[in-house]
Structure 1
Amino acid sequence: MHINSFEGGIPPSLGNCQNLLVLTLYNNNLTGNIPQKLMELSTLSIGLDLSDNYLTGSLPSKVGDLVHLTLLNVSNNKLSGEIPSTLSSCTSLEGLFLDDNKFEGTIPQSLKDLKGLEELDISSNNLSEQIPEVIGKLGALKYLNLWYNDFEGELPKAGIFSNVKGASVLGNHRLCGGIPQLHLPTCPKNKHHSSRGLLSPKVVIPISCALAFIIALSCFFGARSMLKKSRGGLVTSRSYKDWKLGVSYSQLVESTNGFSVDNLIGSGSFSSVYKGVIPSDGTVVAVKVLNLQQQGASKSFNDECKALRSVRHRNLVKIITACSSIDNHGTDFKSLVFEFMPNGNLDSWLHPRDEEQSPSKRLNFMQRLNIAIDVASALDYLHNHCETSIVHCDLKPSNVLLDEDMVARVGDFGLARFLMEASNDPSLNQTMSSQLKGSVGYIPLEYGMGGQVSILGDVYSYEILLLEMFTRKTPINDLFIEGLSIYKFAAMALHDHVMDVVDPSLLLNLEADGGVNDDRYESTVLPRRNNHGVVKAKKVKECLLAVM
């Protein structure tokens, strides 16, 4: 029952379904606590996925009764309290995802009993104190994400912690030690501690042998995990999940075929977008590479990405992850990875470059109206319902993406903040500041005169977007000269000449449905056919008048 619009709480009566093997409710609008009765479904073995909802309260301690469960995912909710130590009873667990919640306290030492655990994500919570060394002793563990918590003290080096690609500790600023590749600060030395005993051959040789055995065992279980993923089923989505943990420059190169021209979807002043394919499961993503050559502040960039990843709305393009690294030329490399939108952007539908495709890419009246409502919903969320209001700064058709169902998703929200944080060059910041206030034709006049960006500027851009959608004329059309603008063009047509300025292809669609109730069109362009068509066309005309 995932990816719907279910609201309210999870019915406890689901606990009566005594033969359930798998239950997926992710990506809905569910609220309230996780019912204790759900934890009594001892038959659950394939998976329990409640992620991407608005669930609150704690993770019930009775979760330990799910002894046959292979996958537990409650990420991206508002769960709080401590991670229950009873999870240690779920000895069949291979994947445990608790990220993006409000869990507090420490990582339970009892997790050492999850011998078959291959993936553990507890990132973006409020966990603290020292990371238990027992986590490094989980021989099957292949991926560990501890991003953005408040862990402190020395980071273990054994097991998964010896693999820089397998373990991520970004955003825990009080950690020290660990392997050199993680670039953590050196831990303070204990003056009363002598290292001679630790460095003796009698200690070093056994530890080295044990470490080699753990690494070999990890490789074995990793290979077994990859084999399971290739067999399909619920587990195949984990490769996509892995990318949410973080992605490297080399992985992006592989997924985009070396950022080849054939994979280029579009480009702008500050970025280029490539179509990418996650090699392990074929999931298609969009990779936006920021065109900045300056040495940037990687931490700020990742912090901004973390903040925007928590912004969720059905009409916003979802940010999967970010990459802040160094490319093959030693230059700072920064990119964002988004969901791929198969129907491209609104601009390509309003102004198709290939005239031969024009009829097939013609939007009808209801499609345009729905897109307009979708964009308005996205802006309302960014402006009024985020923890901190987000100003888009560059709303235009090319930043409105369309998914497989032609639902509009607004993209590039917050990109201005990304780009400003990515550069530490004051002169460049000043130039970017003026350019990032929007695109010519869509920005309000006060921006051009040095005014501060605001949600009102986005509203103005939305007005221009509306006019362009229904007239199919860009605000920089050659028609608009000598003081004439798309705004004045539409205003002059009110109220009696609206049908003169709308996109002619809309009239063709109305002709197929029975004509337009307008004397000037009845005898020339679109003759009246029946009363139903006239009534419908009259309502369409009233709606167009309201839009203008």
Structure 2
Amino acid sequence: MASSNMFRRVLNLSLILSWLLFAMNCRGSVAATGFTNETDRLALLAFKDLIQEDPLAVLSSWNDSLHFCEWKGVICGRQHQRVTTLDLAAQNLVGSVSPQIGRLTFLRKIHLNNNSFHGNIPPEIGQLFRLRTLWLFNNSFQDLGLTLPNLKYLYLGLNNFSGSFPPSMANASGLRILGMSVNHFTGPIPTNLGNLRDLERLGLNANQFGSNKPDDLSFIDSLTNCTNLRELLLIKNQFGGVLPGCIANLSSKLEKLWLGSNEISGSIPQEIGSLNNLYLLEIGNNMISGSIPESIRKISKLQLLSIEDNNISGKIPPSIGNITRLILVVAAANMLEGSIPAELGNCPNLQELYLGSNRLTGVIPEQVIGIYSLSIALLDLNEFTGPLPSQVGNLKNLGALSISGNKLTGEIPSAIGSCQVLEYLDLHGNFFEGAIPSSLNQLKGIQELDLSQNNLSGQIPEFLGKLPFMRLLNLSHNMFEGEVPKVGVFNNISAFSVVGKNMKLCGGIQPLHLPACPIKFSKKNKRPFPHKIIPLLIILPIVLLLACLFLIFYRLKRCQQRTSSASLLENQYPKITYAELLHATNEFSPSNLIGEGRYGSVYKGSLNSGEHIVAVKVLKLQERGANKSFMAECDVLRILRHRNLIKIITVCSSLDFKGKDFKAFVFEFMPNGSLDSWLHPTQAEEQGSNLNLVQRLSIAIDVASALDYIHHHCETIICHCDLKPSNVLLDDDLCAHVGDFGLARFMSANTNLSNNAHFKYGMGEEVSTEADMYSYGIMLLEIPTDSTFIDNFSLHNYVKFSLPSRVMEIVDSTIIDEEVEGLNRNKGGEGEFAKLKSCLESILRLGVICSAELPHERMDSGNVVKELHRITKDYNE
């Protein structure tokens, strides 16, 4: 019995020990692999410890007074409260990256770009298997060795990386974008990059890759496996050899090919025509010879062609006129010969044409020099003959024209005065003759004018000195005569020149040392005073007096009408005093300030003992134009009634306690703030929810509906003139209301709209409903996009050039994450994802149309509403 008890005790003890060992092993396993919220907090603090300089006090919030998910630059997932994004871009931070960052195992995005981080990239980042985006560009990182098989976006540009191409990159098989630009990498590019089959963008520019050897570009053959490749950037390296014919086997989706500023030789291969989706081809500043291949006409989508500074010879093929989408042609500093093909005039979108420093001959085709869209035309240092065609006057957008160093003859065409935005005009070194045309007086924006080394004659017009922005004027080596003006540019000896053959000039400022001009005397014939003029001298003052009285009466009447707008609002809406508004806004306390613009500040206020929350817009009457803005808004608000327009409660036009004028509007309060604060949130605002795609579509419809109402359904047409996300306010239900009509204008139904008149918004045209639609188009492009991806392109051009293939790259990632998460929850398949992509593409296309450069190409607000409803319906089905 005793032995039995002893056995039972030993058995129980062994079971207890086994359980303890199991528990310890489990706990050890958790300690080794199970990272927690506390792990994230400690890892972030370790990251902070290695920051040496924080001039903007970005990390001051990283303390125990706040949960780490509320620290600046930190975004956590909603479910597990684990760090998913570390965004400290452009914060002027100095330091190194702690290896503890590898313990933030839920990280999907790391944005440390545009700082001054140095040292090595810790290999522990390779443990972040969920990491999709790594932005480290524009720092001073130096060893690079990462193994991140799930990484999709890697930006390492603008650092101090050196050595050869990291071999581990070929193992990151999920990479879509690899950016290594502006570093010190050397040596060859490995030929196994074809393993990156999902690669869409490869940026290796501004390094020292290659060694001017024949096989430097052999790696291009491996890239033919990358069937999604859209951009290949290899400029500013040391690649030698010829451009291989296998370039034709690159992805049919290839859109941008940058090969400039290398040491590439040989000719442009005929196979280049197979890249029929290419819209940018840049091979300038190499040693390429031969002629421009005829096959280039097959690249019908080409918009930007750059082949300058090579040894390319032969003629410009007339078939280049088939590429009707061309925007930019840079072919300067080659050995091109023959004439400019008139067929180039078939390219209606051509904006910049660089053909200088070639051997081109013949006349300048009027079809080319008359392309309406041209803004820069540099045709200097060739052998063109004949006159400068008068069609140059068609170039309403021309900013720079140089045809110097040719053999042009005849007079300077007076039509050139129609190029009223011209800033740079160089006609020197030709055989122009005659006088300077008086029409040049219309070039109000001209800054540099060179007419030297011609055969121009006559007097130097005084108006040249009165052109307000003129800073350089060269009239030397002509045959001018008479007095040199002394005004404007002629008063600065370093800003103008009249030296050379102008031997008959006189006067001018003293540093010219010209002879004094002779004084001319003349006797005026004395004639009897014509008696017929006497009645005219009596009647004319009477007519002028009556006109003045009529003008005064009209102005007084107009002033009374405008003043009545405010009083009408006061009579129509509840009375409110300055004292009541002062009390409602806690004496216009800064803590109540919710918005500020040029003409007014907006405060949150409470009326009726807190029962009614309002927004009070107080006019800054000291600002010039504020009174006019107040009257304009009164005029508009008294006739507007629409669910998508801001609702006015009342208006106050009174005196403050110091006896100064006080004017304010009281509006319905919008608790969800402005659309701008949702699209471009500050750090404090980032903690709120994001707008999903359906909500964004609904907001877009609301704004378009408001425009449709004021453009087509009011008693008179109204143009908002200041439409932007900060003037779109959201109520409790995220319904959008357009506000701020301080710059609004009334339009008559038969207003003649001039596309060339200037105004402060839109594309520089005058007030019009089309200009409102331009602003709406830009807003529509902002609604789904992530503006952090935009570099040197305008938003319109960036989106336009990204459609349709790169839609999912440029939209806000939060939209995709949320929609895809919903698809996963509902077990949506590829068809649903395709529907999401189609929806986003349709929105962006609509935005591009509405923000088209030419007003008549923009869609009407009513049609926009219909189209957005169709897009919403298709997406929800």
TM-score range relative to shorter protein: 0.3 to 0.5
Q: Flag the structure with higher helix content.
A: 1
Of structures 1 and 2, the one scoring higher in RCO (CA 8 A, sep 6+) is 1
Q: Report the TM-score when normalising by structure 1.
A: 0.45
Q: Report the TM-score when normalising by structure 2.
A: 0.29
